[in-house]
Amino acid sequence: MNAITEPVAEPIGIIENQDIDAYHQGPGISKTGLDLIERSPAHYHAEYLDPNRPPRENDETTARLVGHLAHCAILEPKEFDKRYAVLPSDAPRRPTSAQWNAKNPSADSMMAMAWWREWLAANEGRTVVTQEQRVTALLQAKSVRKISDMRDALAKGRPEVSAYWRDPVTGVLCRCRPDWVHDAGPGRAILVDVKTYSNAAPAEFARQIARMRYHVQAAYYTDGYALAADVDVLAFVFLAVETEYPYAASAVMLDDAALEQGRAEYRRNLDTYAACLKSGEWPGYPTGIQPVSLPAWALTDIENY
């Protein structure tokens, strides 16, 4: 089998105002890629390298949109109404595909189609959202700004900065895109990442960090951005904001033990990725029968039964 090599690298360093699609479709392994490697190299290959992969479906779910709205309202409030168009409460129901293509549409359908043509043309380039979604995002942003340290950090900085670097150990191209980079003085930066979640209480969000491997993200971004930008990253802060009223928010920063755990995990993932690139082999799960047991929480004292 011929080894699959990395794409040609973009310039190493920082790219400001990079198009989000260009970032996601560009070269280098991201934290999302590391998560796939953690599952199995075969899953990474299937997602990014397999030419026979079936066409991707549009995965813009309501949950993703909620996250995008919160990010914009919190980090780029002046851009919010440029990117999103609020559907009027008295708007007619959006015509279905069958109605658009009907040979003899009803009078009501014709009126609805005319309204939608005009409204969409007037709001071309903006994503359609409801008034409720807009209000939710603005209240989330208001909640975040009640955290004084975060209010100060968000007052000065840059959103969505793409960073590219070569891993010093394996030489593979890496990338990350912090939600917010706070300039903390010459040669210093604080990275901020916004997470929407059902429960932003620090103790509960710590569990979510473990579930989603956010500790890997914190370590990977901290080390990678420092290399790409040639700065000292003083901290990586998670801004957790809830998705239900009252949209409470908290700011969470991992301790040294958690960051070292994240470093160990991303190091293992990068080593595996580099080995797969070199060999051209992208193994999946073990091929033999694997003995398993119940997780500790599921085991009970059978003598009590």
Domains defined for the chain, CATH in brackets:
15-48+145-278 (3.90.320.10), 62-141 (no CATH)
Residue 32 has pLDDT above 90, yes or no: yes
pLDDT at 305: 57
Tell me what the mean pLDDT of segment 183-206 comes to: 97
> Residue 58: its pLDDT value, please?
61
Could you give the 3-state DSSP secondary structure of residue 100? Answer: helix
pLDDT category, 237, cuts 50, 70, 90? very high
pLDDT of residue 81 exceeding 90, the answer is yes
- Round the average pLDDT of the chain to a whole number and report it: 92
pLDDT > 50? residue 271:
yes
Predicted pLDDT of residue 59: 59
Helix (H) or strand (E) holding 141: helix 131-144
Q: What are the phi and psi torsion angles at 121 (to 5°)?
A: -65, -40
Can you tell me the mean pLDDT for 259-266? 98
Check whether 169 has a pLDDT greater than 80. Answer: yes
Helix axes 41-48, 31-39, angle to 10 degrees: 130
Q: Is the peptide bond before 246 cis (omega within 30 degrees of 0)?
A: yes
Q: What percent of the chain has pLDDT over 90?
A: 79
Q: How much is the pLDDT for 61? A: 74
Q: Which tokens sit at 67?
A: 């996250």
Q: What letter represents residue 31's amino acid?
A: K
* Tens-digit pLDDT profile for residues 14-23: 999 999 989 9
In this model, does residue 300 exceed pLDDT 70? yes
CA-wise closest residue to 191 among 67, 75, 70: 75
Q: What is the mean pLDDT of residues 197-205?
A: 97
Average confidence (pLDDT) over 226-238 = 98
User: What's the pLDDT tens digit per position in 127-159?
Assistant: 999 999 999 999 999 999 999 999 999 999 999
What is the Cα–Cα distance from 140 to 248, expressed in whole angstroms?
Answer: 7
pLDDT surpassing 80 at residue 247: yes
pLDDT at 2: 36
pLDDT at 304: 60
Confidence of residue 1 (pLDDT cuts 50, 70, 90): very low
CA atoms of 55 and 92, how far apart (whole Å): 33
Task: Tell me the average pLDDT across 193-202.
Answer: 97
- 59 or 119, which is more confident: 119
CA distances from residue 129 to 22, 43, 143, 194 in whole angstroms, order as listed? 24, 33, 21, 20
State how far the alpha carbon of 205 is from the alpha carbons of 19, 51, 147, 239, in Å.
30, 38, 17, 10
Predicted pLDDT of residue 277 = 97
Write down the pLDDT at residue 165: 97
